[in-house]
Structure 1
Amino acid sequence: METLLLNKDDVSENVRMPELIPAVEDAFAAYETGDAQMPAKSYIDLPQYNGDFRSMPAYLDAGDWDAAGIKWVNVHPDNPDDFDLPTVMGTMVYSDPENAYPLAIMDGTELTMQRTGAAAAVATDYLAVEDASSFGVVGAGVQSYTQLEAIAAVRDVEEVVVSDVDDEAVQRYVDHFADRFDVRAGSISEAGHCDVLSTVTPVRDPIVSPEDVGERTHVNAMGADAEGKHELADDLLLDAKLVIDDHAQTTHSGEINVPYGEGVLADEDIYGEVGELVTGQKDGRTPEDGVTVFDSTGLAIQDVAAAHVAYEHAREHGNGYDFDLLGV
Structure 2
Amino acid sequence: MLTWPDTISAVRDSFRTAATGGIMQPAAAQVGMANGSLHLKAGGLLDPALLSVKANLRPDAARALGVILVFDPDQVTLRAVLDSADVTAYRTAATAVVAAGALGAKDGCSVAVLGTGRVAGGVLAAMPHDIAVGAFHVWGRDRDRAERLARTADRPVSIHVHDTPASAAAQADIVVTCTPSRSPLLSAADLREGTLVLAMGADSPGKRELAADVLADAVIVADDLEAVTRVGEVAFHPNASGNAALGELGSVITGAVALPGDAGRTRRVVFDSVGIAFVDTAMAALLLRTAQGRDLGTPFHFAPPPAVTEQ
Shift of 1:73: 1.1
**How far off is 1:285 after superposition?**
7.4
Q: 1:165-244 alignment to 2 at 5 Å?
A: 165-177=141-153, 180-186=156-162, 187-192=164-169, 193-244=171-222
1:257/1:29 Cα in 2 relative to 1: closer, same or farther (>3 Å)? same
- Equivalent positions of 1:83-94 (< 5 A) are 87-94=63-70
Q: Shift of the alpha carbon at 1:134? A: 1.7
305-314 or 122-131, which deviates more: 122-131
Mapped pair 1:41 → 2:15: no
**Relative to 1, partners in 2 of residues 1:267 and 1:58: Cα closer, same or farther, differing over 3 Å?**
same
Structure 1 pair 122–147 and aligned structure 2 pair: CA distance change class (3 A):
same
Quote the offset at 1:166 in angstroms. Answer: 0.7
The verdict on how the C-alpha distance between 1:94 and 1:178 changes in structure 2, with shifts beyond 3 A counting, is closer
Question: 1:56 aligns to what SS in structure 2?
Answer: strand
Structure 1 position 182, deviation (Å): 0.8
State the Cα distance separating 1:276 from its structure 2 match: 1.0
Q: Is 2:135 the counterpart of 1:159?
A: yes
Report the Cα distance in structure 2 between the residues aligned to 1:154 and 1:33, rounded to whole angstroms.
24
1:225-279 per-position Cα deviation (integer Å, ceiling 9, x unaligned): 122222112111122211011122101101111122xxx4332265211111122
> When the two structures are superposed, what TM-score results if normalisation uses the length of structure 1?
0.85
Q: Give deviations 1:2-32, integer Å, cap 9, x for gaps.
A: xxxxxxxxxxxx2222112222222222222
Q: Could you tell me how far apart the structure 2 residues matched to 1:322 and 1:106 are?
A: 13
Q: State the number of aligned residues.
A: 301
- Matched residue of 2:37: which SS? strand
- The question of whether the paired residues in 1 share the 8 Å contact of 2:225 and 2:247 is answered with no
Pick aligned residue for 2:56 from 73, 76, 85: 73
Distance 2:261 2:131 in 1: 17
C-alpha contact 1:223 1:255 (8 A) present in aligned 2? no
Alpha-carbon distance in 2 for matches of 1:244, 1:31 = 13
AA aligned to 2:11 is: V
**Distance (whole Å) between structure 2 residues aligned to residue 278 and residue 179 of structure 1:** 27
2:194·2:269 contact (CA, 8 Å) conserved in 1?
Answer: yes
The answer to whether the 8 Å contact 1:244/1:294 transfers is: yes
Q: Secondary structure at the match of 2:183?
A: coil
Change (3 A) 1:206 1:270: farther
Tell whether the 8 Å contact from 1:200 to 1:222 is kept in structure 2 after alignment. Answer: yes
What is the rounded CA distance, in whole Å, between the counterparts of 1:158 and 1:272 in structure 2? 29
Alignment partner, residue 10 of structure 1: none
Which letter maps to 2:50? Answer: A
Structure 2 counterpart of 1:122:
98
Structure 1 Cα separation of the partners of residues 154 and 85 of structure 2: 25
Instruction: Answer yes or no: is the 8 Å Cα contact 1:230–1:256 preserved in 2.
Output: no
Q: Distance in 2 between matches of 1:37 and 1:99?
A: 16
Deviation at 1:57, TM superposition (A): 1.2
Partner of 1:52: 37
Q: Work out which of the residue numbers 265, 273, 279 in structure 1 matches 2:248.
A: 273
Higher RCO, Cα 8 Å, sep 6+: 1
Maintained 8 Å contact 2:194/2:263? no
Q: Is the 8 A contact 1:128 1:195 kept in 2?
A: no
Q: Please list every run of 5 or more consecutive structure 2 residues that lacks an aligned counterpart in the other structure.
A: 306-311
8 Å CA contact 1:137–1:198 kept in 2: the answer is yes
Contact 2:66–2:84 at 8 Å: present in 1 too? yes
Distance across 2 between alignment mates of 1:178 and 1:304: 28
Distance in 1 between residues matched to 2:243 and 2:155, nearest whole Å: 44
Q: CA, structure 1 residues 153+307, in 2 after alignment: closer, same or farther (shift >3 Å)? A: same
Note closer, same or farther for the CA distance 1:271–1:265 as it changes in structure 2 (3 Å cut): closer
Q: Equivalents in 2 of 1:129, 1:36: separation in Å?
A: 27
Of 33-42 and 119-128, more deviation after overlay is shown by 33-42
Aligned CA RMSD, in angstroms, stands at 2.0
Q: 1:296: how far off? A: 0.3
Deviation sequence 1:82-108 (CA, Å, 0-9, x none): xxxxx2112111122321211111111
TM-score by length of structure 2 reads 0.90
1:9 alignment partner in structure 2: none
Read off the aligned partner of 2:37 and give its amino acid letter: D
Unmatched runs of 5 consecutive residues or more in structure 1: 1-13, 80-86
Deviations 1:262-318 (A, max 9, x none): xx4332265211111122111257455332110000001111000111111111122
